[in-house]
Every structure is written in structure tokens, then in C-alpha cells.
Structure 1
Amino acid sequence: MIIICGIGYFEEQLIANIKDREVIAIELDKEKAAKIESQYPHVKTIVGDASSVLVWKKIDLDNVQHIITAFKDADVSLEICFFIRKTFKLDLPILVISYSGDIEDKFAEFGVTLINPLEMSINLVINKLNKNYSKAIDIGIRKGELIEMNVLSKSHLTDRKLKNIKPSNWHVAAIYRNNEIVIPTGNVKIEVGDKVIIFGEPKVLENLANIFLKGIPQFPLQYGKIMSLYIFSDKDLLSLGGSVHLFKHIRSQRLEIIAVDTVVGEEKIISLFEKNEITKDFGIISTQTFFENLNRPDNGINVFIQRKSTFLKKLKIKQILKETLKPTALMKNGSDFSKIMVSLNSPDMTHILEIAVELARLFKVEVEAVYTTLPKALRNEEDAELLQESYTIVNDFKSIYKININYTVIEGNPVRETLRFLSKEDSLLFVIGYERFNPGSFFKPSVAYHLATKTTFSTILIPQSVD
């Protein structure tokens, strides 16, 4: 049995489509109630006020399966929910049709399902306009945590095995290809023309859609929309060039300047923004510590200024890398990058090259890759496989992006030989990945950590998971 409270146009259409259930309609208008009962044999009406507890006492609530209330006045629906949950202490499903927003808090304690026909209609129209990007409108928390996309153009996420994509805060839930379901196992590849269902953080999915659909570089929106820049002294303000240049080119929507035990003058920041023609938003936050900020959901990248003599050297950079799930940038004073240099001596070569290519496209510069391996006579089977994999990955990216990637393989110690290789360069942004939660130890030193702290170039470190 279904109880419908109030009969308007929407409710009448709903009754017309519910033909396999017994329906009780509560309606204050006698003529409207009589009309409904005469037109629909499966409907019985009760003439009365649905917000009156006396009306509800006339109903055999033990046989009720669902209650639907659709009053424009949310307080009437709220009163009905109170009767059902508090007075009669029933746990049956209640559907509240609401045409007003911001009422979730009012109904939170009653465990009801809120449906907003206007919002659903708008989402359907937007989905049709977008044609290739749809949000789920009646699943989960209904905030965009589940989206459906038609992959219309090639991006760096297509034609690659899912196990090599290493998603962060999102997962492929299903793939539809040629009207058939493809179970998204690790060896499956997403192809142009696929319809893909993706689940994850709503803010991340909206940015991810642009990568899938258009191949638009989004770094660091995959991690969050804010760039956090940490200032420890007034001298740091004299070395903001590289950080501001980074902010200008990446997709971060806002710059949060975190002043740690110091005061930052807003005039200096405004002047730098104007000089660099930056129109994006910024804000200044004062704090005594910064560690709680590292993994904020909306934080996309943490940026620290490296000077020859800086408070950062007194900090344990390893601790920063160990505690954060977000990219970390150690910026020098230079305000220009002639190229993006990426080290494939990273836990996940595909992922780190993906980030480097995105950055190269954002800065409109070329990308180069370097990989250090043991001399041939000392390589074991695993070393040989990794070397071959590096060539395969670089060639795949060349094919996907139709770009040239200069790739250099050198032999020897990965830290010493990579630093020697980098010393030949004038200006670049260095990118490398490191094992998440494990930035190195005395017995197993981290290549990424030592390169980042010893190179003369600005470096972005990407935390990566390891299978």
C-alpha cells in the first residue's frame, strides 16, 4: 500500500502510473478526492488534513509500504514525517517531493528521501545540452559523485590499461561499448566511443571529465582546486617569482598563502599578480603550523620556497612527503621554465609522464624524459624489463599526443648521474614521483628526495602508490 499526501498535477500523474499497487490518497478538497477515486479504481481517498494526527490514526499503517508527500509548504511535509517517525515510531520509506532548496537539514533526522523535480529537470536539460557528460540525479548523495561520459576524443586516459592509469579519488565503475557491458578489470582499456561510468569525489570528477572528453590538461585539479604556498619569513617574499609563475600556468583556481609564524604583506602579492597578469583569486592565512593543511580535500598542490638559507632546510622535508597525499613543489627563485624534465625513476612511470606532459602543455614548452639504469652487465631481468617498459611508455605518449619527447637513458647511480645530466640545462621544471608514505630511509634512500633537495631547479614531487 502507498500513501500519497495531497493531490496536485504531479501526484495525479503519479497515481495514473501506479497501477499495480493499492493507493490511499489524503486530500482536503472533497471534489478533487471524489474525482480521483472515480477515475482510478485502485485508489481510495481520505478527505482530511494530512498534517493532522487524527487523519493518520484512521489508516492501517502496518500495511503501508511507502509514504509520498508533495506539499509546496515543506513544514507540512515535516509535520507528516514527525508523526510517522516520532508518534507512530515507524521505519517505513518516506519520499518527500520538494520544490524548494536548502531543506536537507530540516529532514535529516527523519531519514527521508528528498526529491526535487525542478532540480532533476534542470539536470536532465543540462545533460542533454552537454550530450557527453551526465551526472546521476537520483543515486547516492546526488551531488555528482557518479557521472556518465561519452569518450568522444582521444586523451592520455584512452587506449591505456586501467591498471596503469592509477586513479586518485575516482574509479571506473562500468564501461559500455557497442551496446555491451565491459567489466572494468585492470587489463581493460578505455577507447574512443566508450560510455564510461565513473565514481568518486564530485569536485574531482568534474575536472576529470575535461580530460576524458577533450584531453584538456587539468593539473592539479585531479587533487584539488587550491594551490597552497607556505611562507616562513619575509625573505621568502623576495623569492616568489617561480611560485607565482607556477600558479599562473597551472589550473589551480585559488592561491592560499599560508603564513607560518610570520606576517605577509598583501601589497607585495597584489603587485606580483599585476606584474604577471594573474587574475585568479588569492587569500592569506596565518598559522603556527602547516601540517594540517597538507591533505585538505580542496588542496591540490603544496608549494615551498627553497633558498640557500631557508627555514625549510630546518624542516624535515621527508616528513612533509611522508604525510601528504598531494603533489609537493619545491620552488627556486627562477620565474621561467624552458622545458619540463621528468625522471622515469619513479614508482609509476606512466603516471609521472602523464603529469609531465600535462605541465608541458600548460606551460607551452617541450617535455623531456630521463631514466637511469644499471650498466648492461649488471642488470637483472627486472632491470631489463623496466628499461624496456620505459621505452614503450614514452613511445605510447608520443603516439597519443602526437608530440616529440626527447628521451635519454643513462647508466650508473640514479641520483649522481641524473644530477650530472641536469647540470647541463639552463632552466627547467623537474618532475619526479616517489613512493607514497615512504619517501626513503637510510637503508633505502629515496631517489626523488635526494634529487629534489640537491638539484638547482624547481621540482614537483608526485606521491604514487606501488602495486
Structure 2
Amino acid sequence: MLTGRLIIIGLGNIGMTLVRTLSRDFRLVCVDVNEKTLQAVRKLWGESVETYQGDATSRLVLQKVGISPADTVAITTSSEEINLEVARVLHQHFPEVRTIGIGITQAGIQEMASLGIEVEGIFAASATGMRNRLEHRSKTVHGIGIGKNEILEVEVSPSSRLANKPLGWLRPKSWRFGLIYRDGNIVVPSKSVVLKPRDKVVILGEPRVLKTVAERLSSSLSDFPLDYGDTGLILVGDRETPAFFSEIAYLASTLPLRRLILAVAEGTEIPELLLQLIADKDPVTVEISRTAAPLEVVRSTLDQRSCSLGLCVMSPGLLFKRFSAARAKRQLLDIFAQADCPVLLATGSHPYEKIAVPCLDQHASHNALESAMDIAADMYSTIEALLALPSKYISTEKEGDDYSLLKKNVSDVALAYRSSIRRVELTGNPIHSFSQALDGYNLQVNEISTANGGSLLHRIFYPDVPWSIVRRARPSALLIPAIEEVL
């Protein structure tokens, strides 16, 4: 463990993820030119973090930070020019301090090394690797395959969000558990086995998938939607609005998807600005879709390509203008079954500064809240849980107990993520009150299940409240596939 302070310079993707995954035992200092980013750090760490706004290539700024030989400096900006200049200043004026930096080109890596910097190459660098180096720990992930990392051994971190979850909850796809070592014993994996902190697990599967799974097991890294896959499928209809394309660009620049597939309705033109904004996704594939039926597009994409979908995006019109409410939900559930990934109905209500989670069922709201937390971590969003306050005149004792459990569930999730979730209590008909309240948010997150099916008469007397809210509310809706509850 460090004896001095840890000073992180540059809070980009790696820097911010490092901030979120570090142990609170660190004496953390953050330096960045962006005050909004520093505010996000203070929100995460509270009064225990020191923050300085300024250009770290300036010796005066570094002197203001008060760097001492006992400190460790991590240079994590995405600009090699800035990283090198900071490294030069540190080498000249603070030669005794331990410095770790991100190198991008081979020449940059060599120059950093010549300055006495411990260098992590950008293509191999990760927040997990940086954290392990800082904590003087060995790597938590060890490849034990035939040099190809098709088999990995991972120690489950106590801070991992997958710890204390049943294996059935984790939805292995393109990978699987081999063995679990716990307290010197072997535990045979099954859906009901709960993953425990400090378990050593052997996982098998596709190398690119295993890397993400290993990071999720060994740290508190979120990176939604990589739990599901690394490819985004964008369904583009023939009547999309500029706001829809703007939201696609926002998602492409914010989410850590490694690949994008744009399935475009015949005759539709993609704005040049959008193509420029997403050009860094390698590769970006633009396909002509001969059908606008969402399920058929998803099926053909999965049939023709070897990819793991992490997110499927479409406008609400592709569902609700083509199908009745019941058939639209059936299409959505079929997409969940085919792709096993969330679906975003994009209305153009970005950026996602305020996220709402309608809480109507304890199990479903727990999963939706966790997904919202993962998204908020990358987008610096605030989260509010919407709850339907039971009527004091006609509610039953069970409804009162369920409501108390819902409130406790919100508090438990907030505590687990070391963040805050504001509870908003609504009265009246849940469909109407929730739909009206959602007008003040940029994104709603819902788990959608197979419940509330049946005949037309059954649906009239027992309406599907979550689905009705999704159809009526104005903001974009992130729909999470239901996770089977493992007993």
C-alpha cells in the first residue's frame, strides 16, 4: 500500500475508472482542467479527496499540489503529448517521486521509460492493471490456456459487483465457469451457487469476452453494457429525426462499445456528421436492411455475424407504430430471447443527466437500479427512484410491507454502490403519475418481464404497469431483460 498520496493527473476513461475502483484506504489527489469532472470525483469520494483544477504541464500547478517523494503520480490522460510533458516536468523538478504513465506510441513509451516512468501501453492499459500496480499486488487474472487466454483464473474481489450473486444471475454467454476454489475446497458451478469474495474461479470461453468478464470479477469496474457484449446494433428506420441521430452519436461517444452495426432501412441516408463522430469505433459497419421489423433485423445480424450484442437501439416508432401494445411487447421479449441484451428506445432526450427508475417490484427494480448505477458512473448522472405511495385508506398490510421493502431495496443498492439515490414518492394511479413524472428526466430504466400476458380481458383488469409506463413516457427508455430469480 502507498505510504504517501496517490496523485492522478487527467481524469479520462482510465483515470475515472481508477478513481471508482480504488480502495478508500488511498489518500487520493486528482488534477484535471475540467471542473465538472472534479465535481464528479468529489461526489464519489466526499471530503477525503483533494482536487486541483489546472494544467499539470505547468510546474506551478504541480507545486501547488505539493508533491513529495513519498507520493505516487499516475498520468492517465489520453494525449501522449500532455503525458510526455507532465513526465518531463516531474523528471526535472520532482525526480524522486514514483510515476506511472500511459504511453500511446512506441516512441512515446521509449521516451517515458528514459525519464524513469513506469509505462503502461495504451492498448494493454486498464484501470484494473493500474490499480494492481499501485497496490503492489500481482495481477489478479492469470492466463493458463495454451498462450491464448482461452482459460483464465480470477480471484473475485470483495468490491466486485458480481460478488455475492448466484451464478445463474450472471448470464454467461460465450463463456462459462469451469471450477470454483473456496477455502481450499472445490465447488462445482451451478445456477444456485453464490459467488463469494476471494473465490478463485476458472472461466473458459472466447478470449475477448474473457478479458471483460475477468475485469468485472476482479474489480468494481462497471462499463455498461459490456456485461452483455461489446457490439451495439443500431436499427435505423426510414423516418428518423435529427434528435434520434444525435442520441446515437452521444451513445457512441460515451459507452465503451468496441463495435457498431448500423442496420439502415433501404433509402435512408445517415448524416455525415454522425459517421464522423462514430468513426473511432472499429469497425463501424453500415448495412442496408430490407425489412424494418426489429426482430428480423436482430436475427439476421446474429445469423450473419459472429458478434456479442451489448445493446440494441431503435426509435419507439419501430415498435409502437407498427405493432399493437401486446405485439410490440412480444417483439421486445423475442429480441431479449435472441440477443440477451438491453434494448434502448431512443427519443432524443439526451444527455442522460437525470435518470429515473420506476420501482414497482422489488426484484425487477433491484436489477434496473444496478443497471442505472452502472450507466450513471460513466455519464455523471443523478438517479432517482420513483415509488408509488400506497393509499392510506385502501391499501392492504401486504402492500405496506412491499412498499417498505422497496424503500429498503433502494437504500441497499445505493449503499452497495457508495452513491446516493433520491426517492420520489408519487400518489394516484401509477401509470398516470409515473408517466407524468418521467417528463422531467432524460432516461428511464426498466426491467421488462413476461408477466401480465393472457387474454384481452385479463390485460384490462390487470394492466402491465411497467410496459404501460414505457409506452406513455417521453424520455428514452432503457429496457433490461428480466433475470431469472435463482433460489
Answer yes or no: same fold by TM over 0.5. Answer: yes
Report deviation, 1:191: 3.9
Match of 1:452 among 462, 470, 476: 470
What is the one-letter code of the residue matched to 2:446? I
Residue 329 of structure 2 corresponds to which residue in structure 1? 318
**What does 1:367-446 align with in structure 2 at a 5 Å threshold?**
367-372=383-388, 374-375=390-391, 378-380=394-396, 383-423=399-439, 425=440, 427-436=441-450, 442=456, 443-444=458-459, 445-446=463-464
- Sort the Cα spacing of 1:417 and 1:150 in 2 relative to 1 into closer, same or farther, 3 A: same
> 2:287 is matched with which residue?
285
The 8 Å contact of residues 162 and 186 in structure 1, kept in 2 or not, is answered as yes
SS in 2 for 1:258: strand
Deviation at 1:385, TM superposition (A): 4.9
What's the offset of the Cα at 1:234? 5.2
CA distance in 2, matches of 1:311, 1:397: 32
SS of 2:405's equivalent in the other structure is helix
Partner of 2:139: 131
> 1 CA distance for matches of 2:471 and 2:403?
25
Retained in 2: the 8 A contact 1:234–1:264? no
2:383 and 2:200 map into 1 onto residues whose CA distance is: 31
For 2:155 and 2:447, locate their aligned partners in 1 and report how far apart those are by CA, in whole Å: 31
Matched, 1:340 2:345: no
SS at match of 2:384: strand
Partner of residue 226, structure 1:
231
Report the 3-state secondary structure (helix = DSSP H, G, I; strand = E; otherwise coil) of the residue aligned with 1:283: strand
Q: Which has the larger radius of gyration?
A: 1
1:210-249 aligned within 5 A? 210-233=215-238, 235-237=240-242, 239-249=244-254
TM-score normalised to structure 2 length? 0.58
C-alpha contact 1:328 1:462 (8 A) present in aligned 2: yes
Map of 2:263 onto structure 1? 258
1: CA distance, partners of 2:261 / 2:356: 27
CA contact (8 A) 1:322 1:437 kept: no
Separation in 2, partners of 1:390, 1:329: 25
Closer, same or farther: CA 439–329 of 1 in aligned 2, 3 Å: farther
Give the corresponding residue for 1:162. Answer: 166
Contact 1:373 1:383 in 2 (8 A): no
Partner SS state of residue 256, structure 1: strand
- Please give the secondary structure, in 2, of the residue aligned with 1:215: coil
Of the three residues 277, 299, 316, the one matched with 2:309 is 299
C-alpha contact 1:230 1:259 (8 A) present in aligned 2:
yes
Give the match's secondary structure for 2:344: strand
Quick one: which of 342, 360, 364 aligns to 2:376? 360
SS of match in other structure, 2:321: helix
Aligned to 2:200: 195
Q: Please name the residue that 1:270 is paired with.
A: 275
Letter in 1 for 2:237: F
**1:302 Cα deviation from its structure 2 partner:** 1.3
Q: Deviations over 1:74-101 (max 9, x none)?
A: xxxxxxxxxxxxxxxxxxxxxxxxxxxx
Counterpart of 1:284 in structure 2: which amino acid? Answer: V
3-state SS in 2 of match to 1:156: coil
What percentage of residue pairs aligned between the two structures are identical? 23
Unaligned runs of 5+ in 2: 1-128, 130-136
Contact 1:172 1:197 in 2 (8 A): yes
CA positional deviation for 1:358 = 0.4
TM-score (norm 1): 0.61
String of CA shifts for 1:230-283, please: whole Å, max 9, x gaps: 112154456311222122212211221111233324624234448xxx656422
For residues 110-135 of structure 1, give each alpha carbon's deviation from its aligned partner in whole angstroms, at most 9, with x where no partner exists: xxxxxxxxxxxxxxxx9xx9732235
Matched position secondary structure for 1:247: helix
